[in-house]
Amino acid sequence: MTIPLHYREQGQGRPLVVLHGLFGTLDNWQTLARRWAEQFRVILVDLRNHGRSPHSEEHSYTLMAQDVLALFEQLQLPADTTLLGHSMGGKVAMRFALDNPERVRQIVVVDIAPRFSDMEHQDEVIEGLNALDFKSIENRQQADDALAQHIRQVDTRQFLLKNLYRREDNSFAWRINLPVLTAAVAALGEEIKADQPFLKPALFIRGGKSDYVTAEDKLHGIPALFPNSQVETVVDAGHWVHAEKPEEVYQLVTAFVNS
């Protein structure tokens, strides 16, 4: 069953739909969206179980792609729409394009490949998020201190804490559907497969310091499903390419959408 996704829209012109990654929200792309909105109609989306979109007991790439299709239909998006996704959102974009090639002009995938990926690197994040005791937390600093016992990287904690909000009774809670995402996280490493490749243009942007897209992916995995693709490497960027090197991502995406 599809879910009505929360989204934010700005600008005019050819549509550019943007999907965040695991534990992210549409806010992660707000800075770049403001710039793209000067020439495109930018639609930032919260995927199911994230941000301000509804929660569901189910979480899979097929379902997320169906949610995005329902949003395309709701907004009556034309066939010249570009779909962009980062990480988990990148796999949603791939699944969407392979299932609905007629609905998009092209796709942009940021730092993820279609192959299976072991999700064990998320173990400490999942552990830290679940260990937070909201009964004893009165402010964001205390939440950060508690997370730091599990997650050393400051930038990762800051990213995760964007999911923290105050309820009406003034207590803290996560916006993400943590129990469902905890249960689903292993399955989110699944390989994206299809009987037919996506023949339209696809731009893959990888971080030079990230191992999410390998030389093998570039040579075989990506072209097998996306034969009309190009892979661009942003030097000195890790997995959060758009946060670390926004100017480079802005230029690559802008040129691609306008090509």
Decide the pairing of beta strands 106-110 and 82-86: parallel
Decide the pairing of beta strands 41-45 and 7-10: antiparallel
Q: Which of 20, 59, 239, 242 is catalytic?
A: 239
Q: What is the DSSP letter of 49?
A: T
- The reported pLDDT for the residue numbered 111 is 98
Measured at the alpha carbon of residue 250, what is the angle toward residues 197 and 28, in degrees to the nearest 5?
85
Q: In 27-111, where do the E strands start and end?
A: 41-45, 82-86, 106-110
- Predicted TM-score (pTM) of the model is 0.97
d(CA 203, CA 91): 13
> By the 8 A CB rule, do 112 and 212 touch?
yes
Q: Which of 87, 210, 229, 242 is catalytic?
A: 87
239 is catalytic: yes
**48-71 tens-digit pLDDT:** 999 999 999 999 999 999 999 999
> By the 8 A CB rule, do 229 and 97 touch?
no
> φ, ψ for residue 175 (rounded to 5)?
-75, -35
- The reported pLDDT for the residue numbered 156 is 93
- The reported pLDDT for the residue numbered 89 is 98
- The reported pLDDT for the residue numbered 166 is 94
Averages of pLDDT over each 10 residues, the chain, 259 residues? 97 98 97 98 98 98 98 98 98 98 98 95 95 93 96 94 94 97 96 98 98 96 98 96 97 97
**178-198 tens-digit pLDDT:** 999 999 999 999 999 999 999
242 is catalytic: no
All structural domains of the chain, each given as residue ranges with its CATH number in brackets, are 7-119+192-258 (3.40.50.1820), 120-184 (no CATH)
Measured at the alpha carbon of residue 204, what is the angle toward residues 199 and 207, in degrees to the nearest 5?
170
